[in-house]
């Protein structure tokens, strides 16, 4: 986490306050004394409170939350933009639009319109309009860009606000307090410290002081953000390892189930084969009956196998019928004696 020293605060002139005639009595506890009509801020208290603010912003970044940088006074505009862009956060450095927080839905409509104009300009759709219409659209785009360019990517309310000069940004602070959004603010001797959650007593007019404080806040957020990203990366790696492990376990389970199913099928086939071989076929039984087939089915199968064709059966029946008819038509004639005796002689002689 970023560290801040007393020497850095002194060199940046953070200890210089406003003139004694321009002060807020509520800031009395943070004033060290007066010199040449100017109040001197107690840097011992400032550095302690500054470190508290740094710790808060660091934790904000470590939790992945968002921070809005706000500084519309001339000295702070460029610094606020640079430091917000450096840490990848949102900023407002021109005019605070009333209701930017409390009426965020309406502001989002303006942001959407700004994005549409940006897309039209980038895609060359301006060529479809007349010069007068293009000039009107460009004026609208520039106006929206001036006020909304720093928050065009802010899809939701910020988790905290960093403010330079709590007096100048009093409207924004009231909106934040109404919504319960923590405020980190640089408060000079003319400010009300009770409006800020994390006060940084210091010079809010000197450019060097603003740059030191804003740069330190941005660096604290970056340090916390680095921790958050490292944690997210570690979580992603763990989830990937867990996913791979689950995939391996699922593949092993499927392989084991397939192996068990194959073994069971092989075992059933072997048991069926052994059972068929072990059953004896009774004498006179039709083959296949012992294996569990019904006798009627076997008979029908055999009949289908030995059944002659119709033409063959008719051809076999016709000669048999003809011979039967001939036997029936021949008369019963007894052989003559002479003929029979000659036949017997011929037979014996042979």
Percent of the chain with pLDDT over 90: 57
d(CA 81, CA 220): 16
Q: Which phi and psi (to 5°) does residue 16 adopt? A: -80, 125
Is a pLDDT exceeding 90 seen at residue 1?
no
pLDDT band at 303 (very low <50, low <70, confident <90, very high): low
Pick from 157, 170, 207, 166: nearest CA to 14? 207
Q: Which of 57-71, 111-125, 318-332 has the lowest mean pLDDT?
A: 318-332
More confident residue, 233 or 332: 233
DSSP assignments along 56-75, one per residue:
HHHHHHHTT--EEEE--SHH
**What single DSSP character describes residue 191?**
S
Question: Which sequence spans correspond to the domains of the chain?
Answer: 1-99+160-225, 102-156
The pLDDT tens digits for 117-175 are 999 988 888 888 888 998 999 999 999 999 999 999 999 999 999 999 999 999 999 99
Nearest by Cα to 83 from 222, 176, 182, 198: 222
Assigned architecture for domain 102-156: Orthogonal Bundle (1.10)
Distance CA 191, CA 13 (A): 18
Measuring CA to CA, how many Å separate 346 from each of 177, 291, 334, 341, 349? 152, 64, 19, 9, 5
Report the candidate in 86, 100, 92, 97 with the shortest Cα–Cα distance to residue 72: 92
Q: Say which residues have a Cβ less than 8 Å from residue 165's Cβ, sequence separation at least 6.
A: 71, 73, 76, 185, 186, 188, 191, 204, 205
| Predicted pLDDT of residue 285 | 53
CA dihedral 263, 268, 272, 275 (to 10 degrees): 90
- 1-99+160-225 folds as Rossmann fold (3.40.50)
What is the pLDDT, as a whole number, of residue 304?
53
Nearby residues of 200 by Cβ (< 8 Å), 6 or more positions away? 46, 49, 50, 53, 184, 185, 186, 187, 213
How much is the pLDDT for 281? 54
């Amino acid at each position: 986490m970023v560290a801040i020293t007393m020497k850095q605060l002194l060199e940046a002139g953070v200890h210089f306050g406003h003139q004694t005639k321009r002060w807020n009595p509520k800031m009395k506890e943070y004033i060290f004394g007066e010199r040449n009509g100017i109040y001197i801020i107690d840097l011992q208290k400032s550095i302690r409170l500054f470190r508290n603010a740094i710790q808060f912003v660091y934790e904000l970044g470590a939790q992945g939350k968002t921070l809005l940088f706000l500084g519309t006074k001339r000295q702070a505009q460029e610094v606020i933009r640079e430091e917000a862009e450096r840490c990848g956060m949102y900023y407002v450095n021109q005019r605070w639009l009333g209701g930017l927080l409390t009426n965020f839905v309406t502001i989002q409509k303006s942001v959407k319109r700004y994005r549409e104009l940006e897309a039209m300009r980038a895609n060359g759709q301006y060529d479809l309009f007349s010069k007068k219409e293009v000039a009107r659209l460009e004026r609208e785009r520039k106006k929206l860009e001036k006020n909304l360019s720093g928050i065009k990517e802010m899809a939701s309310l910020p988790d905290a606000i960093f403010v330079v000069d709590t007096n100048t940004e009093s409207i924004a602070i009231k909106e934040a307090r109404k919504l319960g959004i923590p405020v980190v603010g640089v408060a000079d001797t003319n400010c009300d410290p009770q409006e800020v959650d994390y006060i940084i007593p210091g010079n809010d007019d000197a450019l060097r002081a603003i740059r030191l404080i804003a740069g330190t806040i941005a660096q604290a957020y970056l340090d916390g953000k680095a921790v958050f990203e490292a944690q997210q990366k570690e979580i992603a790696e763990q989830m990937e390892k867990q996913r791979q492990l689950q995939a391996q376990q699922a593949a092993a389970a499927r392989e084991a189930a397939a192996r068990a199913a194959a073994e069971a099928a092989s075992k059933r086939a072997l048991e069926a084969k052994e059972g068929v071989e072990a059953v004896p076929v009774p004498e006179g039984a039709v083959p296949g009956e012992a294996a569990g087939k019904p006798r009627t089915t076997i008979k029908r199968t055999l009949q289908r196998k030995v059944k002659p064709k119709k033409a063959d059966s008719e051809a076999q029946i016709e000669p048999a019928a003809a011979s039967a008819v001939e036997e029936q038509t021949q008369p019963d004639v007894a052989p003559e004696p002479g003929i029979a005796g000659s036949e017997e002689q011929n037979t014996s002689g042979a």
